Chains A and B, each alone.
Chain A
Amino acid sequence: MSDELDEIQGIFFEECTEGLAVAEAGLSAMAEGDASSETIAGVFRAVHSIKGGSGAFGHAALLAFSHRFENVLDEVRGGRIPASAEVTKTLLGAFDILSDHVAAAQGGTEPPADAAMLAQLDAVLESKGAVAAAPAPAPEPVAEADEFGFTPVAAVVEDFDPFGFEPVAVALEDFAPVEPAEPAGWTVRFGPSRGALGNGGEPMLVIRELEDMGAVVTSVDIDSLPGLRDLDPEDSYFVWTLRVPGTVGEQDIRDCFDFVAPDSLIEIDREEVLVAIVPEVPVTPAAPVAEDDDGFGVFEPLPVPEELLTLVPLEPAPVVAAPAAVPAAAAEKPKAEARPASVEVAQTIRVDLSKLDQLLNLVGELVIRGSILSDRLSPADQERVELPELSRLTRQIQDNVMSLRAQPIKQAFSRVPRMLRDLSAETGKKVILETIGEMTEVDKGVIEKIGDPLTHMIRNAVDHGIESAEERLAAGKPAEGTIHLSAEQKGARIIVRVRDDGRGINRERVRAKAIERGIISADAAISDEEIDGLICAPGFSTAETISNISGRGVGMDVVRSNVEALGGRLEINSIPGEGTTFTMALPLTLAILDGMIVRLGDQRFVLPLANVIETVQPEPGQVKETSPTSEVIELRGQYLSVRRVGELFGMRSQRAPEDSLVIIVESETAGHVGLMVDTIDNRREVVIKSLEDNLHPIRGLGGATILGDGSIALILDIDALVATGGSSKYALKGMAA
C-alpha cells in the first residue's frame, strides 16, 4: 500500500516538475511583457495544481506557500492586480521559493525560509487589490478541473461512462434492425452419427445445402473431440450449430437431413427459446473447419473461442435498451468538453525513462545480432528477401524507439531566459536573448546532458563576453548586449550555438595566463584558434576577480568534457570586438550510427557515413608530398589535404597511396579532407558503445562498436581527428593517475 502511495507521490513530483516548468515559462513571458490572460492563467493553473497535490500528500509547508502564491496569482489573473514589472518580479521570486519548497518536499528536507517572500506577496495583495485575501480560487478551478491531473476523480469516472458503453451500442445497433424485420430464426444443431463418415455421409453437403438457404454456421461444438491418440479419423466428433433465417420453413430444413443417418443429432428450434450469441457473425472462421472435416479438420486450430460455443438464453431487452439510453443521456449532459479531455488522456502515457533506455539497449543488441547473423550466412542467403526484410523491420523498430526518446530542445533552452535575468541583475549588464530552432528534436539523453554546459556557456558569455553598457556605447554598439541561442539539425548532428556580440576573447591575456599557469610554454607558437581553445584547458581562468558567476576556472573545461562525453565537439570562434560563438556539435542520437567500416592493417574502424563524401582510388602520383609529414591529393584540379589514418593512430604504414583508398570526408573544422585507409569493408549501422562507460572519452574517437564477429571497431570522430591532426596535445589531459 505504501509502495503505491510512493508511486503516486512520484507522479505528483513529476507533475510538480512539469508544473514548475510551465510556471517558469509563463512568468518569463510575463517578464518580457506578455501579460495575456492565457499566460497568466497558465501560471495560475500550474501553481494551483501543485497546491492541490501538496495538500493531498500532506506537504503542509508547500501547501501553505503555494496557497498564498496562488492567491496573488488569482488576483492578477482576475485583473485586480496589474501584471506590472514589479509584480512580475515578486512572482518570479515567489516562484523560486516554490521550487525550493517542492525540492524540500521531495527530498524530505526542511522547507525553505519563506517568511520574507510571503510578506512580499501579502504586500502585493494589500497594496494593489484590497479585497483579495480570501481563498477565492477554490470554486473557479473546479470548472477547469479536467485540466488538472489529480483533482477531479469524480469527473473522470463520469467521462468514462459513455465511452465504456458506446462500442457496445454500436455493435448491437448493427444487429438490432435485423431482428424485428423477419420472423425469429431457427437454430439447428447437427451432429453426424458415429460412422456417418465411414458410410460416405459427407456432413459438408448438408451444411452447404443449409447455407444455400441462408444458414450460417455459428459455432462448432468440439467437446467430444478426443485426444490425438484416441482419435479415429473415420469417426465424427463435431456438432455444428447453424442459424437459419426464420423465413425458411421447418420442413425445408428437415429435408436437408433426408439422407443423413437416422442416429445423427438433429435439433431444430425456433430462436425464441435459444439463440446463439453471435458477436461477429463469423461465417469465415467456421467454414474452413467444415471443409477440412474429412479427417484433417481436427488439426486445424479452431478459431472460434470456446466461450462462444455455448448457447445462452437471449435477454434482449436490457442490452439493447441500455446503449440507446446512455449515449442519449450523455449527449444531454454538457459533455462536449469532457470528450476531448478524455481522448487526450488516452493519447499519452507516462513511461519511466529507464524502460525506454532498456528498450533502446535491447534494440541495439538486436541490431548487432542481426549483423552477426548476416555475417554468418552465405552471400547467396544474404541476398534473400528475408534478411533485408528483417533488417528493414529492425531499422523501423530502432527509428521508433529513437523517436520515443526525442524531445524538443526547448526543454534545455527554457531555463535560459530566467538565468539571463538573474545574470543581468547581478552584473548590471542588459542582455537580450534571441532563440532560434528551439523545436529541434533531440534525444532525451542529450537534452539532459547539455543543460549544464549550456548554463555555463551563457554565464561565460554574460560575464566575460558582453561588456558593460558604457563600454559598449563607447565601442559604437547598442547598450544592450545580445545572445543568440540556436539549434539546428545538420546531418546526423545537432548544432547548438551560443553567440554573443561582446568583446571577443582577449587572446593576449589568454596566452599570458596560459603561460603563467604552465599550460603552454612561453615560446609556444600557437594559432589564434588554439589560443581560443585554451580557455577550455583544465584549471584555466582569466577573470581578474573571481565573480560568483563564473571564473572559478572549472567551467569551460567541464563544458568541453561534457560535450565530448556525449560524443560531441565544442568549437570556439571569436572575433575581437565582435563577439564569441560557442558551437556544440552533438550527435542526434547516442545510440546508433550509420557507418562505413574501413580496414587499416588488421584493425577495423568505423567512419560516420554522414561525413563521407566520396571514395577515391588514387592513381600513381595523384597523392603528393608537400612536406615529409603532410600530403595532398589532387582531385579534379583541387588539392585536398590527406591524412593517413594509421599515422593518426600511431600505426606506421608503408603502403603506397596507389594501394590504398582515400576517403574524402567533410569536417566542420577543416572542410574537405582525405583520409587514407587500406580498404573499405562495408557499410553498416553500428551501435555506439561509449568508451567513457568504462574508461574515459578519447579525442578523435566517437566511441567503439562491436562488429558481427564480436570484435571491437573504434568509431572515428572525423572533426576531432582532422582538427587535432593526430597530435595528442590534449589527449592525455586529465587521465586519472
Chain B
Amino acid sequence: MSTEDTELDERKIVTFTLGSRLFGIDMRSLIEIREWEEPTPLPSVPPYVKGVTNLRGSVVPVVGLSERLGWAPSELHSRSCILVVTINGRHAGFLVDEVQDIVVIQAGEIQPAPDVEINEQGAIAGLVKIERRTHDAANAEAMCLLLDLDALSLTRQVPDFA
C-alpha cells in the first residue's frame, strides 16, 4: 500500500536553531510554538528548568534546551521562542533560538548520530540533510540534528511497588 509506505517513510519535522546548529523534532510531538515569556521560577530545580508557564490552564515547565544539552544558555532575543511539546503524555516547553521551517524527510535518509558532545546520551537520534528555504544556493543544504525528546523527559521515574 503506497499510502502506508509514505506514512512509514516520510516524517515531518520542525526545524529550529540553537546558536549555529540546526535541530529538528518530530512534528507529531509539537503542541504549539509560543513567544518567549519569562516563566515563573521554581525553587530546587536544576538551572536548565527555567520555571513554569501557563499553557491553556495547565502548568508546564520551561526548559532551556541549550543548557539541558550542556551548552551555554541561549541568549534571549526577539525571535526566541518556546516549543511546547508532548513527551510521553506530559508537556514541556523548550526555549530555542529561532524556529525555521517544517520539512519532510525520509526515514531512510536519517544517519546514525556520531558522538556529539552533549550532556544527555541518546538525545540526538540522528542526522539528516535537509534543504533550506533560501535563495543562497551555496547554503541550500544543511545538516540537521534530530532530537529524541524521550531522552529529555523531565519527570522523575517513580519505581512501581513491586
Contact = CB atoms under 8 A, between A and B. Distances in A.
Given A365-B57, A689-B58, A704-B59, A695 B155 contact: yes
A266 to B, nearest CB: 65
B85 to A, nearest CB: 11
Interface residues of B toward A: which range?
A: 20 to 34
B158 interface: yes
Interface in A665-705: 689-696, 698-701, 703-704
B6 interface: no
A301 interface: no
Given A712-B53, A712-B54, A691 B59 contact: yes
A382 interface: no
A732 interface: yes
A476 interface: no
A552 to B, nearest CB: 7
B44 A694 contact: no
Interface stretch (B18-26, B35-43, B103-111): B35-43
B59 A731 contact: no
A335 B90 CA distance: 56
A706 interface: yes
A732 B44 contact: yes
A731 B156 CA distance: 12
Given A698-B45, A700-B43, A714-B42, A558 B158 contact: yes
A104 B61 CA distance: 41
Interface in A645-668: 648-650
Contacts of B153: 736
A690 B59 CA distance: 7
B13 interface: no
A31 B43 CA distance: 51
Interface string B88-121: 0011100000000000000000000000000010
Contacts of A650: 43
Contacts, number: 102
B46 A732 contact: yes
B12 to A, nearest CB: 24
Nearest to A565: B158
- What's the dominant secondary structure at chain B's contact region? loop
Contacts of A400: none
A456 B154 contact: no
A694 B58 contact: yes
A693 B90 contact: yes
A698 B154 CA distance: 12
Interface string B148-162: 000001111111111
Interface string B45-86: 110010011100111110000000000000000000000000
A603 B40 contact: yes
Most buried by A among B43, B45, B60: B43
B59 A693 contact: yes
A706 B156 contact: no
Nearest to A451: B161
Contacts of A474: none
A455 to B, nearest CB: 8
Contacts of A731: 43-45
A315 B90 CA distance: 67
* Chain A to chain B: the 3 pairs with minimum beta-carbon distance, closest first: A731-B44, A712-B40, A728-B44
Interface of B: 39-46, 49, 52-54, 57-61, 90-92, 120, 153-162
Given A712-B39, A712-B53, A734-B156, 12 more contacts: A368-B57, A555-B161, A558-B158, A648-B43, A649-B43, A650-B43, A694-B60, A695-B61, A710-B54, A712-B54, A728-B44, A736-B154
30 contacts: A368-B57, A552-B162, A603-B40, A689-B57, A689-B58, A693-B90, A694-B59, A694-B60, A694-B91, A694-B92, A694-B155, A695-B155, A696-B154, A698-B45, A699-B44, A700-B43, A700-B44, A701-B42, A703-B59, A704-B52, A704-B59, A706-B57, A711-B40, A712-B39, A712-B59, A731-B43, A734-B156, A734-B157, A735-B46, A736-B157
